[in-house]
Structure 1
């Protein structure tokens, strides 16, 4: 796997450590002299030559500066150009304005959505994947690159995931997509189902789903990301940012031997995902599980299962909670709908931004969650503030 150094210099370039004189050369029988070769940054690099008895400084004669100084100057210029090319938002468009504000857009690095079972993590990741693909399907002043979303579903098969995405797009019941014969007499539903299928077909240049039947290992994820990155750069150079969404982090396996112990496996995967994010300049979003906790309290960072390196490596962590999913009718944080003359409690999906290395924002972003259509509607800040006060009390 490439290192962060390869991101700047390419695999064949010479690193600083390559140019250090080892103790074995202390007798001054070797020196560094300039060769005609040039690395991918356009800077000359050097090889050992035993013909001269004493070391001499390496100078780029054209500019009168050490060549390694010039290499660093080129890196600075490249980073400055990269920064200016990112647009006003900073990163890609999340499709959720409050997440754009909280994280300065969707940026390179690993983000974890951690939560217990039955709170809606998988639904939220599917919504994010679809929104990111749609919101970044064109290039303009605020969207300097398109997004290609690779959705790895390690929990659900495509038979379950595709109906969910169609339901999200058309805001219809998931079961109307999953079981069309049962709902075939409802023309409006069938029309929307057909429109959703077509929308998904039209999105193949921005959105792809990979389920567990194709593989679950970190090596499989790396190989798949490489295949898509190579395809995008070959056919659409500099046009796309690859985004990986993985549901869920704790289901990722390791093909290599020696990772049978749970914590060692998790630590290895956390490090590898960080490397992949850096290597491909990609945002990587994962759901993550909690260990067994008291479900009646709001979660903390150390509630994340095998949390050590996973928490350390992540650039952002959102702790997810759904009072209705956890407590049912005893829930205190909810919104209401009327169904057949009865008031029904519906879940508020809470995301507490507990770690954020993208900006200084810490706080909560809340959503009205409608499970049967797997939709998440961002609550306006004023309305959310009332719920946040209720949570705090």
Structure 2
């Protein structure tokens, strides 16, 4: 190789690094002044993350009945209805009607059990009617398959991004995606799915949010607080995810708890920031999580 060729290669490498450096500096400058990702609708969580970032995988994990589906659907509602971002949702537990009721209950602030039992009052119908136009026009695509293989999911997600311009992909039930090929180790199957979700996020340059189950560890622990080791069937989820949010409600274990209606968002893994605890309000009758009211200030 001649000295001239070496110089040309060096210039190319230097130019490539310079471009990378410039892009990084631009992103750092933008991060200081605006939301760089898709806002979740949770004030403190968005302040921590600047929104759900393209290429990142966020996992929301909890024991049953803690509110992980409510949080996931709330993020999707905020993205599609409040912000107008095309959003693709995959849920393996709800029918289309069930998911629609979740949206209308949370948006209209109508008790979900009244919708299901057909006992809505006149004021409930009025609240829902006010929100229907915005829900109807929201760029939200909902998939409710009874079963789906990993390849089928990946193909559909790519199609949603390509043809519908999806900017957020949400999965309610990471463990419910079936492997293309069965493995004797369930842990390996779930790990493959988690890694595939992370790879998909990077490939499509969109954030991916998924819910996951926890094992019975919290029930066997004093205080019942979840830990990363409680992730069911796969420690690989911990390594694949950029952020893991563990949900905990004291009133789920202690009915007379003074913290009734509160839910802790435990940021147990955060690849690009600190781990911390965020407290929100869980309006279980509406099936939604909202920010806690700020404490009053005294001048």
TM-score class normalised by the smaller sequence: 0.7 to 0.9
Alignment of 1:95 with 2:41, yes or no, is: yes
Structure with the higher strand share, 1 or 2: 1
| Preserved CA contact (<8 Å) 2:70 2:287 | yes
Matches within 5 A, 1:141-160: 147-160=85-98
Deviation at 1:285, TM superposition (A): 1.3
- Listed as ranges, the gaps of 5+ residues in structure 1 are 1-54, 138-146, 234-240, 336-346, 384-393
Deviation at 1:80, TM superposition (A): 5.1
Q: Tell me, in whole angstroms, the C-alpha distance in 1 between the residues paired with 2:4 and 2:124.
A: 73
Q: Which of these residues, 151, 163, 185, is aligned with residue 219 of structure 1?
A: 151
Alignment of 1:310 with 2:257, yes or no, is: no
Q: Which of these residues, 42, 47, 53, is aligned with residue 107 of structure 1?
A: 53
Deviation at 1:56, TM superposition (A): 5.5
Q: Tell me, in whole angstroms, the C-alpha distance in 2 between the residues paired with 1:313 and 1:333.
A: 36
| Preserved CA contact (<8 Å) 2:39 2:51 | yes
Deviation at 1:124, TM superposition (A): 1.5
Matches within 5 A, 1:128-167: 128-137=75-84, 147-167=85-105
Q: Which of these residues, 151, 162, 170, is aligned with residue 230 of structure 1?
A: 162
Report the TM-score, using the length of structure 2 for normalisation.
0.85
| Preserved CA contact (<8 Å) 2:61 2:214 | yes
Q: Which of these residues, 353, 357, 360, is aligned with residue 271 of structure 2?
A: 357
Q: Taking structure 1 as reference, are residues 264 and 188 closer, same or farther at Cα in structure 2, changes over 3 Å only?
A: same
Q: Taking structure 1 as reference, are residues 356 and 148 closer, same or farther at Cα in structure 2, changes over 3 Å only?
A: same
Q: Tell me, in whole angstroms, the C-alpha distance in 2 between the residues paired with 1:64 and 1:316.
A: 38
Q: Tell me, in whole angstroms, the C-alpha distance in 2 between the residues paired with 1:81 and 1:354.
A: 29
Q: Tell me, in whole angstroms, the C-alpha distance in 2 between the residues paired with 1:177 and 1:104.
A: 35
Name the SS for the 2:52 alignment partner: coil
- Report how many residues are paired: 291
Matches within 5 A, 1:42-121: 59=5, 67-78=12-23, 88-108=34-54, 109-121=56-68
Q: Tell me, in whole angstroms, the C-alpha distance in 1 between the residues paired with 2:152 and 2:9.
A: 48
Name the SS for the 1:155 alignment partner: coil
Structure with the higher helix share, 1 or 2: 2
Alignment of 1:320 with 2:247, yes or no, is: yes
Residues 59-89 of structure 1 show CA distances to partners (whole Å, capped at 9, x for unaligned) of: 499x785545544444444555566666622
Alignment of 1:210 with 2:157, yes or no, is: no
Output the aligned Cα RMSD: 2.7
Q: Tell me, in whole angstroms, the C-alpha distance in 2 between the residues paired with 1:226 and 1:92.
A: 19
Report the TM-score, using the length of structure 1 for normalisation.
0.66
Matches within 5 A, 1:266-281: 266-281=190-205
Q: Tell me, in whole angstroms, the C-alpha distance in 2 between the residues paired with 1:226 and 1:364.
A: 34
Query: Which residue does the alignment assign to 1:20?
Result: none
Query: Which residue does the alignment assign to 1:378?
Result: 291
Name the SS for the 2:167 alignment partner: strand
Q: Tell me, in whole angstroms, the C-alpha distance in 1 between the residues paired with 2:265 and 2:258.
A: 13
- Listed as ranges, the gaps of 5+ residues in structure 2 are none
Q: Tell me, in whole angstroms, the C-alpha distance in 2 between the residues paired with 1:58 and 1:167.
A: 69
Alignment of 1:262 with 2:186, yes or no, is: yes
Query: Which residue does the alignment assign to 1:191?
Result: 126
